[in-house]
Chain A
Amino acid sequence: GQSLEQPSEVTAVEGAIVQINCTYQTSGFYGLSWYQQHDGGAPTFLSYNALDGLEETGRFSSFLSRSDSYGYLLLQELQMKDSASYFCAVEQAGTALIFGKGTTLSVSS
């Protein structure tokens, strides 16, 4: 089967940098995605990594190490609006995206 592990909660202050880790166990791995979900809202796509290394998109970056079955989402210059839940999800052969349980990020001033 598949399993993903990520911290349940992270807290930080405005302007700080936070890293949300994700470890996974799966077969037929294609890539790792990250989604953001604000309270009461729909999850929205943030990033995708298929190859080892860092992908940068503005204030957000995502990293993947396939050999370690590990990835992380890095959020820089945190803003209050970044308070949300963040989900890692594995993309694999023959099935839909499988999501972790999510990390709730609380940003305070």
Chain B
Amino acid sequence: EAGVTQSPTHLIKTRGQQATLRCSPISGHTSVYWYQQALGLGLQFLLWYDEGEERNRGNFPPRFSGRQFPNYSSELNVNALELEDSALYLCASSRSQGRNTEAFFGQGTRLTVV
């Protein structure tokens, strides 16, 4: 069974541009989560999608947005890129959220803003 896949693995953008990151969840998983992992800051929650709807978002500005498609894949869009957006962006998937819902992570997209 394929795990969570993310693309691209690396992305270099200039300040002010837009970035689009993609995630395919494990088959049968309907929930997709996005996290930002900047150096020394752990995993910071960005967005949670389930059944095509945004269920919750973390403490990030509106220029971080995304969507979930009917096949449960998801994309994260970051507009007006800033230097501090440089980080590893991790996607995770799980079955619809309940208790003890194990999240499975992809390898991440390394975004560098120059």
Contact = CB atoms under 8 A, between A and B. Distances in A.
Given A43-B105, A44-B105, A100 B99 contact: no
Interface in B20-51: 33, 35, 40-45, 48
Contacts of B48: 95-96
A100 B45 CA distance: 11
Contact of A101 (B40, B45, B101): B40
Contacts of A48: 100, 102
B108 A97 contact: no
Contacts of A58: none
Contacts of B103: 45, 96-97
A41 B67 CA distance: 25
Nearest to B35: A99
Given A50-B99, A96-B33, A96-B45, A43 B56 contact: no
